Amino acid sequence: MLPTPGAAATPPIGVFDSGVGGLSVLRAVHRLLPGVPLHYVADSGYAPYGERGDDYVIARSRHLTEFFRSAGARVIVIACNTATAAASRDLRERYPDTAFVGVEPGLKPAVGLSHNGQVGVLATGGTLRSEKFRKLLASFEGQARFHLQPCPGLAHAIEQGDLASAALRDLVASHCQPLREAGVDTVVLGCTHYPFVAPLIQQALGPGVRLIDTAEPVARQTVTQFVKMHGALPERPVQPVRAYTSGEVAVLQRIAAQWLDFDVAVQALP
């Protein structure tokens, strides 16, 4: 059943991704805001966003925003690099009474942490092709040499939930090989799916390469926007987390149980 605005004293926060990758962001938000109801959508039935056109991603992002708003959410986290790049401007213009927190590849911390100025970026083709990313990249011109590595098929493979599969390990290795050959010492995880295979990425790149994940900064920005929108944070017990999927409920249930350290009630997206 879709929660109604009056169902809880504290308004919920919506978090969405094209699939299960955004659970990495949900996990970080839950750690900082345990007293706020969280509603997550894995739009797995329409994934992967990174291999779709902008109009498609914008349409799905609007649909999910309407879903969250009908539940009373006025702070929504776009826990998907591709959706942030394609749809964040449209959503902010279309829903001016709603605060949107997007994600983008962490180029700034990567530049600051790199010792040799060779920075790799693992991301979907959609993210790397986007105007938003290109503008971000241009803002760091001359500060480092960026090696952009599209990872076709990787988000989809992670979506299957078997992080120990040989096929997934081989796919990660193939995408990381060009970065290893380029001598990068810092690599940005430019898709929210990728933190869940960070150990495989680290193994493929070697122990001397630092990985950059932006889930924690996104969570802190979510706190800031929630306080701006609703005032002080609630002093309440831990609130339940609800998750919805446009794919298979059993798949999201299994992955959430494996990847998260808190309970999540999963059901089909209406």
What's at 101, amino acid-wise?
V
Question: Sorting pLDDT into bands at 50, 70 and 90, what band is 8?
Answer: very low
Residue 68 pLDDT greater than 50, yes or no: yes
pLDDT tens column, 83-111:
999 999 999 999 999 999 999 999 999 99
DSSP tag of 50: G
Q: Peptide bond preceding 48: is omega within 30 degrees of 0, i.e. cis?
A: yes
Q: Tell me the sheet residues that pair with 266.
A: 243
Residue whose tokens read 């169902």? 7
Predicted confidence at residue 40, as pLDDT, reads 98
Predicted confidence at residue 4, as pLDDT, reads 43
Domains and CATH numbers, the chain: 5-103+215-268 (3.40.50.1860), 107-212 (3.40.50.1860)
Nearest-CA neighbor of 43 among 74, 79, 72? Answer: 79
Q: Is 52 helix (H, G, I), strand (E, B) or coil?
A: coil
Distance CA 245, CA 57 (A): 16
Going by the annotation, the residues of the binding site for substrate are 17-18, 49-50, 81-82, 192-193
**Percent of the chain at pLDDT exceeding 90:** 81
Predicted confidence at residue 221, as pLDDT, reads 97
- Over residues 197-206, mean pLDDT: 97
Residue 70 pLDDT greater than 60, yes or no: yes
> Which residues are known to be catalytic?
80, 191
Residue 74's CB is within 10 A of a number of other CB atoms, namely: 19
Going by the annotation, the residues of the binding site are 17-18, 49-50, 81-82, 192-193
Predicted confidence at residue 71, as pLDDT, reads 96
Residues 6 or more apart whose Cβ sits within 8 Å of residue 194: 21, 122, 151, 154, 155, 158, 201, 213
Residue 12 pLDDT greater than 80, yes or no: yes
Q: For the stretch 254-266, what's the b/e string if a residue is b when 16 or more beta carbons lie within 10 angstroms of its beta carbon?
A: ebbeebbeeebeb
Distance CA 243, CA 258 (A): 15
Per-chain mean pLDDT for the chain = 93
Predicted confidence at residue 6, as pLDDT, reads 40
Distance CA 168, CA 175 (A): 11
Residue whose tokens read 């609800």? 242
Predicted confidence at residue 226, as pLDDT, reads 97
Nearest-CA neighbor of 80 among 147, 30, 25? Answer: 25
**Percent of the chain at pLDDT exceeding 70:** 97
Predicted confidence at residue 2, as pLDDT, reads 47
pLDDT tens column, 117-149:
999 999 999 889 989 899 999 999 999 999 999
Residue 258 pLDDT greater than 60, yes or no: yes
- Over residues 163-188, mean pLDDT: 97
Predicted confidence at residue 136, as pLDDT, reads 95
E strands in 19-126: 38-42, 75-78, 99-102, 118-123
Distance CA 30, CA 262 (A): 9
Distance CA 36, CA 261 (A): 17
pLDDT tens column, 228-245:
999 888 877 788 899 999
Residue 1 pLDDT greater than 80, yes or no: no
